[in-house]
Amino acid sequence: MDWSTASSQELRFSRLLQVLDENDDGSLIDYGCGYGALLDYLGAIGHRVAYRGFDISETMIQAALARHAGVAHASFTADASRLAPADYVVASGIFNVKLGHTPEAWWDYVFQTLAIMQSLCRRGFAFNMLTTHSDPDKQRDDLFYADPIRVFDICRQRFSPRVALLHDYPLYEFTTIVRT
């Protein structure tokens, strides 16, 4: 996990959870859940969604299972084939670290992953990405910075006309919400 502070992570979570309908305690897939920090945040703010955490890292899933042992409304898996549709799907930070991939290859990965997220949600999905509007001298070569307008337009064209772009918070990123 490469979040700089707990407060910045909570700010990210609050933006992602704007996809939820007001007072909705439906079901949610945390796509790229890591050790399950979003589940902690949901509990702290009083949401009791049926939570399903997914991560490609078995090590992260084991950490999430240990951290949240006994939480009846939560499950975790590293097996994508075990993911059943949920009301909502959210992803935080999964598009940031591109390592040595070309921008074109990374865009392909981003939109393939968004199509999977859309196929898993019944009501909406949300994700965040680093913004091209961050200070150029602070940008890193191993990270992927996306043009928020391009992401908005592609989501509107491919997934739903009901798209919101949140670029109004003090981090070098944006959140996209797609309602289906």
In degrees rounded to 5, what are phi and psi of residue 55? -150, 145
| Residue 94 pLDDT | 97
CATH architecture of 6-16+23-179: 3-Layer(aba) Sandwich (3.40)
Mean pLDDT, the chain, rounded, equals 94
Question: Is 90 exceeded by the pLDDT of residue 2?
Answer: no
In degrees rounded to 5, what are phi and psi of residue 123? -120, -25
Which tokens is 11 given? 């700010």
Residue 131's alpha-carbon distances to 136, 168, 174, in angstroms, are: 11, 12, 6
> In this predicted model, what pLDDT tens digit does every residue of 14-69 receive, in sequence order?
999 999 987 677 899 999 999 999 999 999 998 889 999 999 999 999 999 999 99
